[in-house]
Amino acid sequence: MKKLTAYFLVGGVVVVAAWLWLRPDSPESLNDQARRPAGTAAEPPSASLEAPVIMIAHEDPIPAGLVGAGLNAPDGTAREDLRILQGVFRAWQRRGKDTGNPVGTNREITAALTGRNIWRLSFLPPDHPAINEQGELCDRWGTPLYFHQLSGTRMEVRSHGPDRIRFTEDDVVL
């Protein structure tokens, strides 16, 4: 009987160790994802800009030092900018676990992402060129982005597009 109990105990420890080793947010899996070449990270399913909202989930962590890189880059697009912001929100969610996304106005969300949060972590540099003098995160045309919290992990982010008018056909929405 003692041998049987010992086998079950050892087996249980092995199962728990394997689960800890293979779970998606284990340090080993994060390192594997960080080693992927740029542009090969898993894409969210059906991330079309025609769809008004894309789920921002606790997946695909962004390696340290790359969060916010390339936002409003001269050779980029508005769509790429919103994908970068999606990565910023994913990094926020990974850090905060069950805290969801930052909430509030553009200025409040930008403040949280630039280090005025409970962790005092900066997900975007406070002097990022995409942040205007009022402390708002702007699109590539200099218009403040529109943030609409849909749930704890879903947020609509809208660039007003080149015409700088919200809710027109050239808006880019994530």
Task: Determine whether 141 is exposed, middle or buried from the number of CB atoms within 10 Å of its CB (0-12, 13-18, 19+).
Answer: middle
Where b means 16+ CB within 10 Å and e means fewer, 84-97 reads bbbbbbbbbbeebe
Does 60 lie in the same domain as 110?
yes
> Strand pairing partners for 131?
137
Residue predicted with more confidence, 15 or 144: 144
CA–CA separation, 87 and 67 (whole Å): 7
| 40 domain residue, yes or no | no
Q: Would the pLDDT of 124 be above 80?
A: yes
Does 31 lie in the same domain as 2?
yes
Does 63 lie in the same domain as 111?
yes
Does 169 lie in the same domain as 112?
yes
Does 168 lie in the same domain as 99?
yes
How high is the mean pLDDT of the chain?
A: 74
In the 8-state DSSP scheme, what is residue 68? Answer: T
Does 139 lie in the same domain as 91?
yes
Q: What is the mean pLDDT of residues 92-105?
A: 83
Q: Number of folded domains in the chain?
A: 2
Supply the range of the domain harboring residue 12: 1-35
CA–CA separation, 12 and 51 (whole Å): 45
Predicted TM-score (pTM) of the model is 0.62
> What CATH number is associated with residue 82?
3.30.700
Does 109 lie in the same domain as 24?
no
Instruction: List, for residues 59-95, the tens digit of each pLDDT value.
Output: 444 444 457 878 999 999 999 999 999 999 888 888 8
Q: Would the pLDDT of 141 be above 90?
A: yes
- pLDDT at res. 10: 57
Does 152 lie in the same domain as 78?
yes
Does 67 lie in the same domain as 5?
no
| 76 domain residue, yes or no | yes
Does 56 lie in the same domain as 6?
no
What are the tokens at 111? 């403040």
> Strand pairing partners for 109?
none
Type of residue numbered 57: A
- pLDDT at res. 4: 63
Confidence of residue 173 (pLDDT cuts 50, 70, 90): very high
- Pick from 132, 148, 133: which is nearest to 72 by CA? 132
